[in-house]
């Protein structure tokens, strides 16, 4: 499975250069992969921790919300929550981890333009205090949720990059480098063969010339 | 005009006596709680007066339709039998206020209002037109001026809580005013007690929200039996001071147990249940009166509690809430 080339010395030199290049590339990519994996594992650990915590908190918040729902008519609940007091302004920047651009969120919670609106956009008469509790929990979780979104995306992008790098490393290690080596061996053999051929021819000619004299 | 204190209510009271027997009793509710699934619970409901509505139900999740229909039927029936129509109209007022809140918020959000409750005194289309055109001439005076004020202030502050607070306040002012106009100590007592209970809950909720006294002043409703300035002056003191101050009133046990439950379990469930039970007890006192509006109002409240309980059980069953969590919140029945 060698590369089809003319078995010439020039080609041999070219291939040797390519081989050393491929080896250097392989080493670099391998280093990159190692570092990516290291970063990836750090992120994944953080992600898992955060995710477990948020899932627990969310389960609690949903349970509280359910209780609020159970003691309030649907229409009243909808009315209470239909106009939020908070606006979320989210801007996305890029952060470079090993030349992978992962998103970085920064956010700003905006309250109503004036007045002292709290996080609770409703009055007290028809609403249950159980709704207060779930709104409070949910509002506390919001920054963490954004953090999680950011982490999960970073992990996803890193995973894709690792996959890509792994393919490249493998392609270099198992395909390109062996192929070049094979070809080099082939050319070397061919050149040796030619040399031996030339040598024998010379010896033969020498014999013929000597026999004539 | 005053509420007639004569035999004119006799027929209505008689009808109520018959209707009362068809209210769900505690054992039916208990059976629903013990049902294995939401479908089972609905089946138990189908054996009762709700049967025909249940039969038309497509899915368990649409149970709110049944409840809404039941309230609409109850109100219509009471209206038919009551010798004084404005008595029931008064009880419908809170639905007008709820619809107004929804319509106003939808207007400011520039969305179409959905989920309106067709239980108020003003038809929904009329209300919608009023909000669209910002013309509230046909509404009662205080409500109109409150709406005009919201129209003026909201675009400046964009604080949706303000809409709710302003309309809730005007609702109860209106209710108290009507009770005075009808010269009914019974209605006045009912609304004053409701105001007190809401104020007490608001007191704790605003405290838990860590808002200041000025905000509490805005949120609290006037007209209750507890003097407002005392509540407001108590606001800066620790929560324990509240039941010390209230120990001489008949809210003492309710506050003590309810607040303790809230502090221990972090849930307002008990206090809210006790508050509803308190109103139930108040109304039960007037239940036996043969010549007055008390049984009508009592029956309406009983229906409201019944609907509340059914909603609680069904939401609980659909979402697999534990029987204890449901039972904890189940309101006492009026019977």
pLDDT digits (tens, 9 = 90+) for A45-56: 999 999 999 999
For residues B204 and A11, give the distance between their C-alpha atoms in angstroms, rounded to a whole number: 87
- Which residue is it, tokens 């502090």? B263
The pLDDT value given to residue B233:
87
Inter-chain contact B156–A67, Cβ cutoff 8 Å?
no
Cα–Cα distance for residue pair B2/B236, rounded to 1 Å: 42
Contacts of B148 (CB under 8 A, 6+ apart): B136
pLDDT, tens digit (0-9, with 9 covering 90-100), for B189-214: 999 999 999 999 999 999 888 888 88
Q: Name the maximum alpha-carbon separation found in chain B.
A: 54
CB A118 to CB B268 under 8 A? Answer: no
The confidence score (pLDDT) of residue A114 equals 47
A25 pLDDT higher than 70: yes
- Domain holding A73, by residue range, is 9-205
| Chain A residues with CB-CB distance to B272 below 8 A | 71, 128-130
Q: How far apart are CA B260 and CA B249, in angstroms?
A: 18
Q: How far apart are CA B62 and CA B289, in angstroms?
A: 38
Tokens of B49: 């007066």
Question: Given pLDDT bands bounded at 50, 70 and 90, which one contains residue A111?
Answer: low
Q: What is the pLDDT of residue B175?
A: 92
Give pLDDT, residue B4: 54
CA B307 to CA B317: how far, in whole Å? 15
Instruction: Report how far residue B163's alpha carbon sits from residue B154's, in angstroms, rounded to the nearest whole number.
Output: 8
B11 Cα to chain A: minimum distance (Å): 32
pLDDT of residue A18: 92
Tokens representing residue B48 in the block:
């009762």
The length of chain A, given as a count of residues: 213
Q: Is A42 helix (H, G, I), strand (E, B) or coil?
A: helix
Close Cβ partners of B231 (under 8 Å, ≥ 6 residues apart): B199, B203, B220
Written out in words, the top-level CATH class of the domain with range B1-84+293-335 is mainly alpha
Determine whether the interchain pair B160/A121 forms a contact, defined as Cβ–Cβ distance below 8 Å.
yes
Q: Which helix (H) or strand (E) holds A107?
A: strand A100-110
C-alpha closest to that of B4 among B79, B81, B78, B87: B87
Return mean pLDDT, chain A: 88
What pLDDT shows up at residue A28? 93
What is the tens place of the pLDDT at every residue in A144-179?
Answer: 999 999 999 999 999 999 999 999 999 999 999 999
Nearest to A173 by CA among A36, A4, A27: A27
Contact B101, B164 (CB under 8 A): yes
For residue B292, report the phi and psi dihedrals to the nearest 5 degrees: -165, 180
Residues of B in contact with A86 (CB under 8 A): none
Contact B333, B309 (CB under 8 A): yes
| Orientation of helix B269-285 relative to helix A129-170, angle to 10° | 150
CATH for the stretch B90-183: 1.20.1690
Tokens of A199: 């040598």
Residue contacts between A and B (CB atoms, under 8 Å): 136
Report whether B79 contacts B85 (CB < 8 A).
Answer: yes
Number of compact structural domains in chain A: 1
Question: In this structure, are strands A100-110 and A87-97 parallel, antiparallel, or unpaired?
Answer: antiparallel
Q: Quick one: closest CA in A to B100, which residue? A: A79
Q: What number of other Cβ atoms are within 10 A of residue A44's Cβ?
A: 17
State how far the Cα of B159 lies from the Cα of A89, in Å rounded to an integer: 18
pLDDT at A7: 84
Q: In chain A, which residue's Cα lies nearest the Cα of B275?
A: A128
Say which residue, B12 or A86, is predicted with more confidence: B12
Provide the residue ranges of all domains of chain B, joining segments of one domain with +.
1-84+293-335, 90-183, 186-288
Whole-angstrom distance, CA of residue A5 vs CA of residue B220? 92
Give B65→chain A minimum CA distance, Å.
10
What's the residue count for chain B?
335
A212, part of any domain: no
What token pair was written down for B220? 């609290």
With CB atoms and an 8 Å threshold, state whether B329 touches A114: no
Gap between the terminal Cα atoms of chain B: 32
Contact between B160 and A75 using a beta-carbon 8 Å cutoff: no
pLDDT at A70: 87
Q: B63-81 and B85-109 are packed helices; what angle lies between their axes, rounded to 10 degrees?
A: 140
Q: For chain A, report the end-to-end CA distance as a whole number of angstroms.
A: 50
Low-confidence ranges of chain B (pLDDT < 50): 1
pLDDT category of residue A138 using cuts at 50, 70 and 90: confident
Q: Do A118 and B312 touch (CB under 8 A)?
A: no
Burial string for A138-177 (b: 16+ CB within 10 Å, else e) reads beebeeeeebbebbeebbeebbebbeebeebbeebeeebb
Q: Rounded to whole angstroms, how far apart are CA atoms A59 and A65?
A: 10
For an interface test with A, give the residue of B116, B160, B313 to mutate (most A CBs within 10 A): B160
Q: How many angstroms separate the CA of residue A86 from the nearest CA in chain B?
A: 10
Q: Give a yes or no: residue A1 inside a domain.
A: no
Alpha carbon of A95: minimum distance to chain B alpha carbons (Å): 36
State the nearest Cα–Cα gap between B290 and chain A, in angstroms.
Answer: 31
Here the CATH number for the domain that contains residue A158 is 1.10.287.3240
What whole-number distance in Å separates Cα of residue A196 and Cα of residue B227?
118
Residue A43 lies in a domain: yes
Task: Give the whole-number percent of chain A exceeding pLDDT 70.
Answer: 95
Between CA B124 and CA B119 the distance in angstroms is 9
Q: HEC string of chain B?
A: CCCCCCHHHHHHHHHHHHHHCCCCCHHHHHHHHHCCCHHHHHHHHHCCCCHHHHHCCCCHHHHHHHHHHHHHHHHHHHHHHCCCHHHHHHHHHHHHHHHHHHHHHHHHHCCCCCCCCCCCCCCHHHHHHHHHHCCCCCCCHHHHHHHHHHHHHHHHHCCHHHHHHHHHHHHHHHHHHHHHHCCCHHHHHHHHHHHHHHHHHHHHHHHHCCCCHHHHHHHCCCCCCCCHHHHHHHCCCCCHHHHHHHCCCCCHHHHHHHHHHHHHHCCCHHHHHHHHHHHHHHHHHCCCCCCCCHHHHHHHHHHHHHHHHHHHHHHHHHCCCCHHHHHHHCCCCCC
- Can you tell me the distance from the alpha carbon of A75 to that of A79, in angstroms, rounded to the nearest whole number? 6
Residue A137, exposed/middle/buried by CB under 10 A (0-12, 13-18, 19+)? middle
Q: Which residues pair with B91 in a beta bridge?
A: none
């Amino acid at each position: 499975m060698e590369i089809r080339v003319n078995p010439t010395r020039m080609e041999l030199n070219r291939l040797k250069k390519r081989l050393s290049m491929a080896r250097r590339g392989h080493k670099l990519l391998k280093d990159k992969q190692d570092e990516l994996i290291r970063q990836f594992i750090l992120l994944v650990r953080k992600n898992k921790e955060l995710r477990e915590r948020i899932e627990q908190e969310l389960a609690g918040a949903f349970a509280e919300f359910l209780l609020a729902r159970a003691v309030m008519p649907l229409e009243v609940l909808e009315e209470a929550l239909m106009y939020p007091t908070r606006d979320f302004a989210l801007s996305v920047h890029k952060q470079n981890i090993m030349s992978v651009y992962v998103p970085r969120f920064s956010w700003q919670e905006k309250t109503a333009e004036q007045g002292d609106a709290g996080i609770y956009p409703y009055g007290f008469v028809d609403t249950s205090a159980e709704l207060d509790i779930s709104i409070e929990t949910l509002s506390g979780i919001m920054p963490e949720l954004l953090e999680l979104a950011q982490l999960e995306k970073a992990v996803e992008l890193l995973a894709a990059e690792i996959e890509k790098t792994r393919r490249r490393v493998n392609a270099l290690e198992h395909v390109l480098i062996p192929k070049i080596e094979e070809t080099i061996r082939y050319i070397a053999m061919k050149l040796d063969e030619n040399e031996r051929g030339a040598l024998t021819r010379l010896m033969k000619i020498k014999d013929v010339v000597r026999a004539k004299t | 005009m005053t509420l007639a204190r004569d035999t004119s209510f006799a027929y209505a009271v008689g009808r109520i006596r018959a209707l009362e027997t068809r209210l769900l009793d505690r054992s039916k509710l208990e059976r629903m709680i013990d049902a294995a699934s939401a479908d089972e619970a609905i089946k138990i409901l189908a054996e009762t007066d709700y049967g025909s509505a249940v039969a038309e139900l497509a899915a368990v999740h649409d149970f709110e339709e049944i409840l809404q229909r039941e309230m609409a039927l109850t109100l219509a029936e009471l209206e038919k039998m009551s010798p004084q129509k404005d008595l029931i109209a008064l009880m419908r007022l809170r639905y007008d206020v709820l619809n107004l809140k929804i319509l106003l918020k939808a207007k400011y959000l520039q969305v179409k209002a959905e989920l309106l409750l067709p239980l108020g005194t003003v038809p929904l289309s009329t209300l919608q037109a009023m909000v669209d055109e910002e013309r509230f001439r046909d509404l009662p005076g205080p409500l109109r001026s409150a709406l005009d004020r919201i129209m003026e202030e909201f675009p400046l502050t964009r604080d949706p809580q303000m809409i709710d607070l302003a309309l809730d306040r005007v609702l109860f002012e209106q209710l108290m005013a009507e009770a005075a106009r009808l010269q009914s100590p019974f209605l006045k007592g009912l609304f004053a007690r409701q105001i007190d209970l809401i104020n007490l809950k608001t007191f704790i909720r605003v405290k838990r929200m860590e808002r200041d006294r000025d905000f509490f002043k805005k949120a609290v409703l006037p007209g209750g039996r507890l003097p407002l300035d005392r509540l407001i002056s108590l606001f800066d003191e620790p929560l324990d001071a509240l039941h010390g101050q209230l120990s001489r009133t008949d809210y003492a046990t309710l506050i003590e147990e309810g607040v303790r439950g809230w502090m221990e379990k972090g849930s307002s469930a008990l206090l809210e249940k006790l508050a509803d039970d308190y109103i139930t007890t108040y109304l039960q006192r007037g239940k036996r009166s043969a010549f007055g509006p008390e049984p009508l109002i009592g029956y309406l409240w009983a229906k409201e509690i019944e609907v509340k309980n059914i909603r609680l059980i069904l939401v609980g069953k659909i979402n697999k809430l534990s029987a204890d969590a449901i039972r904890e919140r189940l309101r006492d029945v009026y019977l």
